[in-house]
Structure 1
Amino acid sequence: MTIYSLYIFDRHCACVYYHDWHRTKRPRPAGKDALLPGVSRVMSYQAPVTDGVPQSTFTSPRNTLVSSSGIVVAVNADEEVVKPPSSNLSISQAQGTALPFDEEAKLVYGVIFSLRNMIKKLSKRDEQFTAYRTSNYKLHLYETPSLYKFVLLTDVRADMTASLPSPVRFALRQIYAGPFLEFVVRNPLIPMDSRTQGIDNEYFRASVDRLIRGLSFFQ
């Protein structure tokens, strides 16, 4: 199974954290004042630039802008697929036609919001929206009691190659019960529910990355 990207939204519908692993093409950095600070250094408008490449202080073997597999979220299907890093295609060219990150995050949340409302209206029971699948990817949702929404995009084989009934949803709950509570909720330097600041910090990002890579179904 391939894990593509993780979004965390707060109760005000704002994206407060982003992390990716196997994306074919990252979105462009968000426009000025279009994204809360502290969401992702690479996706932020204020990210420092060296030779045309946004730099992040977080280092990871897969913290790159292109890879050999994955999907593109909210990008037209007829757009050219980004070549692997061995090609001569520059990163600026690879990002040229991608959506800004703030627009992509709004589209992801819009899908969740619409499907949750549809389920509530059509269902005769108290059902919850936890996932949906297309021919190219699967979206998994875990919502906390404080209305934070953890959204993970994977390939369509998710939940088919593991023994647990819903291993991806269990992994999202692990992120919430582990790194999120430890490095975000209990961190006095992170303003929770402030509408002005994201939750990204080095300890939380490294812990999430380590947890995801340690999953038995991580590819």
Structure 2
Amino acid sequence: MTIYSLYVFDRHCTCVYYHDWHRTKRPKPAVKDALLPAVSRAVSHQVSAIEGTPTPLSTFSSPRNTLISSSGVVVAVNEEAEYTKPPSSGGTQAQPPVQGSALAFDEEAKLACIIIRDENFTSYRTSTYKMHLYETPTLYKFVLLSDPKVEGPSARFALRQMYSGPFLEYVVRNPLVPMDSRERGIDNEYFRASVDRLMKSQAFFN
């Protein structure tokens, strides 16, 4: 069992924080002005001073092959939704339709937001991964994507710990972090480090 990635959405369903661990393929950086600043350096739009091209500020690699290998995209449609089979390549497992090698991160975040906005659930499972949702009293939504075998109660408890611990301490009570401004994400080094420690301490983190 393992976890893949974490999104935090505000009450406007805008992605304000992102963190990943065992993704095999990071999404493409967001297009210019499509993502709030300070969500994550790994997926924010960055411009190279030399070439003038978008580049992420951090590298990423993983020996695991845990996500949809043809896309690296981890947001999904409901399991009951219609799937299309990919061209025959030795396997017969149906996959959600994909275009290109990966989505830009802002598009991926929008898909995740659509799922949690239109569905009433605390977690749901696909053959590839499981999505866990914890919503705070102030309508912030913590979305964790994990291995399908991760138990829902355990993941939700971890998300609740994240909210009552690092989120309240380093975000809500921090006067330097704009809350609900729709202008900036909530990323800061203390919150990110605390989230990383918390998730790595979970029994289902591998």
Q: TM-score, normalised by structure 2?
A: 0.80
Question: Closer, same or farther in 2 for the Cα pair 1:77/1:64, shift >3 Å?
Answer: farther
Alpha-carbon contact 1:17-1:198 (below 8 Å) kept: yes
> RMSD of aligned C-alpha atoms?
2.4
Question: Closer, same or farther in 2 for the Cα pair 1:49/1:39, shift >3 Å?
Answer: farther
Alpha-carbon contact 2:4-2:21 (below 8 Å) kept: yes
Aligned residue number for residue 91 of structure 2: none
Between the aligned partners of 2:149 and 2:190, the Cα distance in structure 1 is: 30
2:18 partner SS = strand
Between the aligned partners of 1:69 and 1:176, the Cα distance in structure 2 is: 30
Instruction: Write the deviation string for residues 94-113 of structure 1: whole angstroms up to 9, x where unpaired.
Output: xx721000000000110111
Alpha-carbon contact 1:2-1:70 (below 8 Å) kept: no
Is 1:67–2:59 an aligned residue pair?
no
Is 1:155–2:159 an aligned residue pair?
no
How many angstroms does 1:64 deviate by? Answer: 1.8
Aligned residue number for residue 203 of structure 2: 216
Alpha-carbon contact 1:48-1:55 (below 8 Å) kept: no
Alpha-carbon contact 1:183-1:204 (below 8 Å) kept: yes
Between the aligned partners of 1:31 and 1:168, the Cα distance in structure 2 is: 31
How many angstroms does 1:115 deviate by? Answer: 1.1
Residues 1-219 of structure 1 aligned to structure 2 (within 5 Å): 1-46=1-46, 54-56=56-58, 64-71=60-67, 72=72, 73-74=74-75, 78=86, 97-116=101-120, 129-159=121-151, 166-219=153-206
1:210 partner SS = helix
> Residue type of the partner of 2:6?
L
Alpha-carbon contact 1:38-1:199 (below 8 Å) kept: yes
Between the aligned partners of 1:218 and 1:210, the Cα distance in structure 2 is: 11
Question: Closer, same or farther in 2 for the Cα pair 1:68/1:210, shift >3 Å?
Answer: same
Instruction: Write the deviation string for residues 30-63 of structure 1: whole angstroms up to 9, x where unpaired.
Output: 000000001001110026689996224xxxxxx7
How many angstroms does 1:74 deviate by? Answer: 4.7
Q: TM-score, normalised by structure 1?
A: 0.75
1:54 partner SS = coil
Aligned residue number for residue 60 of structure 1: none
> Residue type of the partner of 1:70?
T
> Residue type of the partner of 1:182?
E
Question: Closer, same or farther in 2 for the Cα pair 1:101/1:70, shift >3 Å?
Answer: same
How many angstroms does 1:66 deviate by? Answer: 4.0
Between the aligned partners of 2:60 and 2:85, the Cα distance in structure 1 is: 22
Alpha-carbon contact 1:41-1:47 (below 8 Å) kept: no
Instruction: Write the deviation string for residues 177-217 of structure 1: whole angstroms up to 9, x where unpaired.
Output: 11100110111111000010100011111110011001122
Between the aligned partners of 1:48 and 1:131, the Cα distance in structure 2 is: 39
Structure 2, unmatched stretches of 5+, are 77-83, 88-99
Between the aligned partners of 1:14 and 1:174, the Cα distance in structure 2 is: 22
State the aligned residue count. Answer: 180
